[in-house]
Structure 1
Amino acid sequence: MKNFQFFKQVSSNGRSRRRLFLGEYKRAVSWSKYLVSPGAEIKCDGEEEWSADMSELFIGNKFASGRYSRIYRGVYKQRDVAIKVVSQPEEDEDLAAVLEKQFTSEVALLFGLDHPNIITFVAACKKPSVFCIIMEYMSGGSLKKYLHQQEPYSVPLNLVLKLALDIARGMQYLHSRGILHRDLKSENLLLGEDMCVKVADFGISCLETQCNNPKGFTSTYRWMAPEMIKEKHHTKKVDVYSFAIVFWELLTSLTPFEDMTPEQAAFAVSHKNARPPLPPECPGALWHLITRCWSRNPNKRPHFIEIVSILKGYSESLNLDPDFFRSFRSSSHRTILHHCLPKCISEPWSFKKTC
């Protein structure tokens, strides 16, 4: 079998054994000090319910990385997984403490989640100065990667709605459990082979009742709501704002505020009420929904339960009638849509007739 390689794992009793792993084995040299041996387990002790049996973990090639983390492909108990390895910087005790807190919070949140549009948590290991989280492997990669492989404005509208609905359903589930994601962006949305989207990366997520301090954490400016940029008190509506930016990405396949630095984008959003320009061909119905979602006033942004209802109605109507959005392309319909949308939520099949 082409490109298959055997590689070694060192078990807890010191004996080595071999296993077949799909794909070329490759390891980042700079991370070798955290591993027992090439392709081996990460040292870990723990009796928590979510603790991994590290003798069952095989680490393969790295496929993504961040400033303090690396993500490897692997096998855990004969299941394809992604392994997020987080290292604590030895020279910065404060940052090390922050990263440990984020790890603990992420595991605590992921452990209790079960939804088809949320990444599935498998197990974790906590052993300073390295932590790892084992999750299901999503073969399609990130939504950001997928969109950047497309021509601008080329994603079919039915697929745009399908992807947006997957994201909204995942976020509705999180919010129903009182969880704020706070870092919703295309890079943190993962695709399966069937183009199912799953929300991932809960490093700075929190329970709404515990998000008391708006300062001291970092997110990504291009997707951040104005109140987060200003470090003001924020609610679940920050995720709704970020969803609107992702929706814009789905429609355009572009990077928001691409002609600005992240800092310039943050200033434009928070002080000038700037938003990325929607394409002229954007259907008026979607224009209305997106502009509501990224409203400056958080109270004017809809909840995800409403967003899911609207998108579901749009998707079903588009499947029945490919020309469903044609009459909504011009801005002259926006006032009409403002009155029609409430009916669409409760009676999606009557939306076209009503408008």
Structure 2
Amino acid sequence: MSFHLVCSPFSLVLILFLSEYMPGGDLYEFVHKQNDVLELLLILRIAMSISKGMECLHQHNIIHRDLKTANILMGDNHVVKIADFGVARVGSQEGQMTAETGTYRWMAPEIINHKPYDHKADVFSFAIVLWELITLKVPYDNMTPLQAALGVRQGLRLEIPADVHPGLSKLIEQCWDEDPGIRPVFAEIIVQLEDILQEIQVPKGGHRRSRAKMQKKSPR
């Protein structure tokens, strides 16, 4: 079972397919059955697809609230689709909500602390997903979910391997920053991922043209 998000300038449509077969299962299963590191190109393409789906949600003021690898389904050719909108909500009129919702290992500290939160809580969860793609490990695998949550609320973060591309390392750190205001929106995340992708695809000795960075305010 999966949801497809159809974005248009005028409407948001969630279409439920009961019979669709996703041969790759979910991203959690895919990641944690790997015996070796994923190629950077594949990591970027998966991360880009997730980011574009989340940007579409946020453009329509919808917060997923439980973004994690188990809620991302995989089709042929590593195509990914965001699933399980059971706890997704339209942002409140004030732009924030307070209910503790989600899964501890991927949950933003403001949710754990029962503080008001908004779309940036999904960005924190995305950082954990990206960390999983890079390390192929379960987040906080030496802790119970509750211990992990208590650690996160006290500032604990996962260790990023030293050999990770510096652009990805920087992006992860931005996305799981304690201050939601410092976390980028998904439009900005897409630009950063595209920059890394362009960098690694430039032939040796070649040059790439610089381009203006996309700036976008957080959804209200």
Task: Report the TM range for the smaller structure's normalisation.
Answer: 0.7 to 0.9
Does 2:212 match 1:346? yes
* CA deviation after TM superposition for structure 1 residue 144, in Å: 0.5
| 2:119 paired residue among 230, 236, 245 | 236
Opposite residue 212 of structure 2, the aligned amino acid is S
Residue-by-residue CA offset, 1:214-241 (whole Å, 9 max, x unaligned)? 23x5421000000011111101000000
* Structure 1 spans left out of the alignment, 5+ residues: 1-81, 84-109, 124-133, 325-342, 349-355
- The equivalent of 2:159 in structure 1 is 277
- Looking at structure 2, the residues matched to 141 and 303 of structure 1 have their Cα atoms a distance apart, in angstroms, of 28
- Looking at structure 2, the residues matched to 291 and 344 of structure 1 have their Cα atoms a distance apart, in angstroms, of 24
Does 2:47 match 1:164? yes
Q: Name the CA shift for 1:279/1:323 in 2 (closer, same or farther; >3 Å).
A: farther
What is the 5 A alignment of 1:244-255?
244-255=127-138
Does 2:178 match 1:312? no
| 1:122 paired residue among 16, 31, 34 | 16
- Looking at structure 1, the residues matched to 81 and 98 of structure 2 have their Cα atoms a distance apart, in angstroms, of 26
- The equivalent of 1:69 in structure 2 is none
* CA deviation after TM superposition for structure 1 residue 209, in Å: 2.3
The number of residues matched between the two structures is: 207
- The equivalent of 2:174 in structure 1 is 292
* CA deviation after TM superposition for structure 1 residue 312, in Å: 1.3
- Percent same amino acid among aligned pairs? 38
The answer (yes or no) to whether the contact 1:120–1:135 under 8 Å persists in 2 is no
- Looking at structure 2, the residues matched to 189 and 147 of structure 1 have their Cα atoms a distance apart, in angstroms, of 11
Larger radius of gyration: 1
- Looking at structure 2, the residues matched to 174 and 135 of structure 1 have their Cα atoms a distance apart, in angstroms, of 23
- The equivalent of 1:179 in structure 2 is 62
- Looking at structure 2, the residues matched to 171 and 135 of structure 1 have their Cα atoms a distance apart, in angstroms, of 24
The answer (yes or no) to whether the contact 1:182–1:204 under 8 Å persists in 2 is yes
* CA deviation after TM superposition for structure 1 residue 194, in Å: 1.4
Q: Name the CA shift for 1:263/1:344 in 2 (closer, same or farther; >3 Å).
A: farther
The answer (yes or no) to whether the contact 1:226–1:270 under 8 Å persists in 2 is yes
| 1:142 paired residue among 26, 37, 54 | 26
* CA deviation after TM superposition for structure 1 residue 299, in Å: 0.2
The answer (yes or no) to whether the contact 2:128–2:139 under 8 Å persists in 1 is yes
Opposite residue 312 of structure 1, the aligned amino acid is E
Q: Name the CA shift for 1:176/1:259 in 2 (closer, same or farther; >3 Å).
A: same
Greater Cα offset, 171-180 or 201-210: 201-210
The answer (yes or no) to whether the contact 2:96–2:118 under 8 Å persists in 1 is no
* CA deviation after TM superposition for structure 1 residue 206, in Å: 0.3
- Looking at structure 2, the residues matched to 231 and 181 of structure 1 have their Cα atoms a distance apart, in angstroms, of 17
* CA deviation after TM superposition for structure 1 residue 188, in Å: 0.2
TM-score by length of 2: 0.85
- Looking at structure 2, the residues matched to 306 and 146 of structure 1 have their Cα atoms a distance apart, in angstroms, of 27
- The equivalent of 1:227 in structure 2 is 110
